[in-house]
Amino acid sequence: MYAGTATASVAAAALLGAGTFLMSNTGAPVTDTTAAGHRGAATRSVTARHTTAATGTGVGTASGHAPARTGDPLVISHRGASAYAPENTLAAVDKAAELGFDWVENDIQFTKDGVLVVIHDTDLKRTTDAEEVFPGRAPWAVKDFTAAEIARLDAGSWFGARYAGTRVPTLRQYLDRIGHNHQNLLMEIKSPEIYPGIERAALRELRREGWLDGGHVGDRLVIQSFGADSLRKVHEQRPDVITGFLGTPAVRELPSYAEFTDQINPAYTSVSGEYVAAVHALKGPHHKRLRVNTWTVNDAARALRVTGYGVDGIITNAPDVVRAATGVRETAG
């Protein structure tokens, strides 16, 4: 993850990587991915090239399998646009909206007093000033602090001075903001093994905030986790909610996952054309083809590679870089 003092250089390197990769491909325009006027030309050119690949009439996947997906993959902002604003904060959500991206991913955990907050690590050290504000409270685990205590923490200065004073949002605050922004949510239940009952609590909060109505379920909400048992609980309690398993189950095990999950979401380092084809061959509990969203892809070369594999979505800290490279759409088709 990006250190606060290195944010600008990392983002610049990612953007330079996109431009360099595009230049190395015949017919691809030189582009600054942060310039809207130039981005459109790059997107049209790359989209045309990959539409050919996806239909099997041009370059196929590395495995030789033509992707089952048609069109470009969905882009999902990982912890918000976290290359440009502190992860899992309202600032990162707003940055994703500013860049034109509808889908955001986040992580939820329980506080000591049972409030759901949006934060990735199970401790507070990396992305807040908890060690300074609460010395002697090692290991500064999220579960050992109340919501009021966490609300005191600075969750932005680690990323950059301009974000000083940014707070860790509660799930309720987060849902309010993405609702205001007309965004969609890929929500990860983080470390469910240390948070008994988090599935029921998450569903209760989603229902309270209007996210389990017909306008959200099926089109605007996905719940994912590394915990298969956690996803089974979600599916048992709300069978209508779309779920995604984070990981790469063995191909022979995929049919058992298809009983309770609609997506298999592997790291980009573990995905291949053959694996995507095996996932796509199955239907999930909602009788639709299983989808594949891969993570965390932050440069053009990898984005183009996984697009060639036929993935349905790309989860990224730098959604504009992926969009410029692949011509990804921002809304679910």
Q: What is the pLDDT of residues 239-280, one digit of tens each?
A: 999 999 999 999 999 999 999 999 999 999 999 999 999 999
Kindly state whether residue 66 falls inside one of the protein's structural domains.
yes
Quick one: pLDDT at residue 218?
Answer: 84
Kindly state whether residue 320 falls inside one of the protein's structural domains.
yes
Catalytic residue among 120, 216, 235, 280: 120
Helix (H, G, I), strand (E, B) or coil at 247: coil
Kindly state whether residue 333 falls inside one of the protein's structural domains.
no
Kindly state whether residue 24 falls inside one of the protein's structural domains.
yes
Supply 55's token pair: 């239909």
Quick one: pLDDT at residue 134?
Answer: 98
Between 19-33, 246-260, 282-296, the lowest mean confidence (pLDDT) is in 19-33
Residue 71: left if φ>0, alpha if ψ -120 to 50, beta else—which one? left
Position with higher pLDDT, 26 vs 320: 320
CATH at 236: 3.20.20.190
Instruction: Give the H or E element holding residue 3.
Output: none
Kindly state whether residue 111 falls inside one of the protein's structural domains.
yes
Instruction: Give the H or E element holding residue 21.
Output: helix 7-23
What pTM did the predictor assign?
Answer: 0.80
Catalytic residue among 78, 216, 235, 280: 78
Catalytic (active site) residue 286: no
Q: What percent of the chain stands above pLDDT 70?
A: 77
Catalytic (active site) residue 120: yes
For residue 53, the enclosing domain spans 4-326
CA neighbor of 49 nearest in space, from 64, 68, 27, 82: 27
Those residues whose C-beta lies under 8 Å from the C-beta of residue 167, and which sit 6 or more positions away, are 89, 151, 153, 154, 155
Kindly state whether residue 104 falls inside one of the protein's structural domains.
yes
Kindly state whether residue 63 falls inside one of the protein's structural domains.
yes
Cα separation, 109 vs 188, whole angstroms: 9
Kindly state whether residue 209 falls inside one of the protein's structural domains.
yes
Interval 112-157: pLDDT, tens? 999 999 999 999 999 999 999 999 999 999 999 999 999 999 999 9
Total of domains in the chain? 1
